[in-house]
Structure 1
Amino acid sequence: MAAGIEHVGPRLRAARQGRGWTLAELAERAGMSTSTLSRLESGQRQASLELLVPLTGLLGVRIDDLLREPPDPRVRRRVQRREGMTVAPLTLEHSPVQTYKITFPAASVSPEPRVHDGSEWFFVLSGVIRLELDGAEHLIGAGEAAEFDTRLPHSISATAAGPAEVVSIFSASGERIHTRGAG
């Protein structure tokens, strides 16, 4: 079967419904019978260029859009290891917000605080996170979350008691600093 051909009918239906048109309205505009269009949308009729060209023109979609393979939603990005942390991406590379599962190693002292544009949110999965934020230390345990403006001096680390795992959500500028380094 050709790439994406099984998706033509549902995509035609979605485009038609997006325009607010009934089967009969689109069939009439395209110069075909309602039953032909119905069978195309349900997959009971083989799609051909002769049928698709007038429909795509009326619906404002490209034939390529009807035939493309469905996107793969799985995130298949490399886990990074940096400064003792394990950083596992949880979102696609071009997502508007970046999310990571980060494992921080045990640390007896906090890293030097940083300041940069952006904002950050994290949820502690296990262990205890030490968040130094604007000169104050906050201990955030499993099941707790924190959100802050990264223009305030801040550092994030596990405590000396052991490693800690978090799910972190960053704005674009925060993601660059925290997962790729200040350079």
Structure 2
Amino acid sequence: MKELAQVGIRLRAARTGRGWTLDRLARASGISASTISRLESGKRQASLELLLPLTRELGIAVDDLLVLQTPDPRVCRPGWRTEDMVVQPLSEERSPVNAFRITYAERPRQEQLHTHPGYEWFYVASGRLRLQLGDEELILGRGEAAEFDTLIPHNLSAAGPGEAEIISLFSEEGVAPHTAAEGADQ
């Protein structure tokens, strides 16, 4: 078991970190110094019967001696397609900040603007993006970024020629309107 591989090393680090000798820990725990030495060197298999008195005396938890497996940090969420955009999530659903790669299709300027609670930030990775924000129309190129309160009427689309790809971050309340079409055309 990988979880037990580092027990001895961590036990020794806890003991020496307190400035304790093998004999001092042996007297305090009631476990012989030779047994503790074999645990620390990996020559003896760790058991709860041995670890509980040792960790109690050292003031640590048994879990502190175990190497806990870290979860896979890669984001593996499926994307989705709508009529005018392709969305690929770049963060876990439970993440406090919601990140997406969004590719917008080229289309004419839209008359209908949207509002919703939240905040949005985006970076144009490729193409030219049309940001209609209130009464303004801004064209942003590759390498440009923008941020705005989504209560301001807005719409985003590729300004052409071709598609525009952005990396977008939404506050928690701002992500729902953008993910409502999730699964629409997977």
2:52 maps to which residue? 53
The 8 Å contact of residues 39 and 46 in structure 2, kept in 1 or not, is answered as: no
Q: In structure 2, what is the equivalent of residue 79 of structure 1?
A: 79
Deviation at 1:61, TM superposition (A): 6.3
Q: Partner of 1:180 in structure 2?
A: 180
TM-score by length of 2: 0.74
Q: Deviation of residue 70 (structure 1)? A: 1.8
* TM-fit CA distance, 1:116: 1.3
Q: Provide the C-alpha distance between the structure 1 equivalents of 2:20 and 2:130, rounded to a whole number of angstroms.
A: 62
Distance verdict in 2 for CA 1:132–1:8, change over 3 Å: farther
Distance 2:104 2:110 in 1: 11
Aligned-residue offset at 1:109: 2.3
Q: Considering only CA atoms, is the larger Rg found in Structure 1 or Structure 2?
A: 2
Deviation of 1:11 after TM superposition, in Å, equals: 7.3
Distance 1:149 1:13, change over 3 A: farther
Task: State the partner residue of 2:131.
Answer: 131
Return closer, same or farther for 1:159/1:131 CA change in 2, 3 Å cut-off.
same
| Count, aligned residues | 175
Query: Contact (CA 8 Å) 1:108, 1:160: kept in 2 or not?
Result: no
**Pairwise CA distance, 1:3:** 5.6
Aligned to 1:162, the other structure's residue is in SS state coil
State the secondary structure of the residue aligned to 2:51: helix
Q: CA deviation at 1:48?
A: 2.2
Tell me how far apart the structure 2 counterparts of residues 114 and 13 of structure 1 sit (CA, whole Å). 61
1:22 aligns with 2:17: yes
Q: Is residue 23–residue 38 contact of structure 1 (8 Å, CA) maintained in 2?
A: no
Q: 2:63 & 2:143 partners in 1: Cα distance?
A: 47
Q: Hey, what's the Cα distance between the residues in 2 that align with 1:172 and 1:135?
A: 26
Identical pairs, percent:
43
| TM-score normalised over the length of structure 1 | 0.75
Cα distance between partner residues in 1 of 2:37 and 2:111: 64
Q: Deviations over 1:107-137 (max 9, x none)?
A: 1123621111111100000001111112211
- Residue identity in the other structure for 2:112: E
Distance 1:172 1:91 in 2: 12
Contact between 1:9 and 1:43, CA under 8 Å: does it hold in 2?
Answer: yes
Deviation (angstroms), 1:43: 6.1
The change in CA–CA distance for 1:6 and 1:175 in structure 2 (over 3 A counts) is: farther
Given that 2:52 and 2:62 are in contact with CA atoms closer than 8 Å, whether structure 1 keeps it comes out as: no
- Number of the residue aligned with 2:4: 5
Q: Partners in 1 of 2:21 and 2:180 — Cα distance?
A: 51
Report deviation, 1:22: 1.4
Instruction: Answer yes or no: is the 8 Å Cα contact 2:104–2:158 preserved in 1.
Output: yes
Contact 1:128 1:141 in 2 (8 A): yes
| Structure 1 unaligned residues grouped into runs of 5+ | none
Decide whether aligned partners of structure 1 residues 161 and 46 sit closer, same or farther in structure 2, where only a CA change above 3 A counts. same
Paired AA for residue 4 in structure 1: E
- Counterpart CA distance in 1 for 2:104 and 2:75 is 22
d(CA) in 1 for partners of 2:43, 2:21: 18
Structure 2: runs of 5+ lacking an equivalent: 182-186
Letter in 1 for 2:60: L
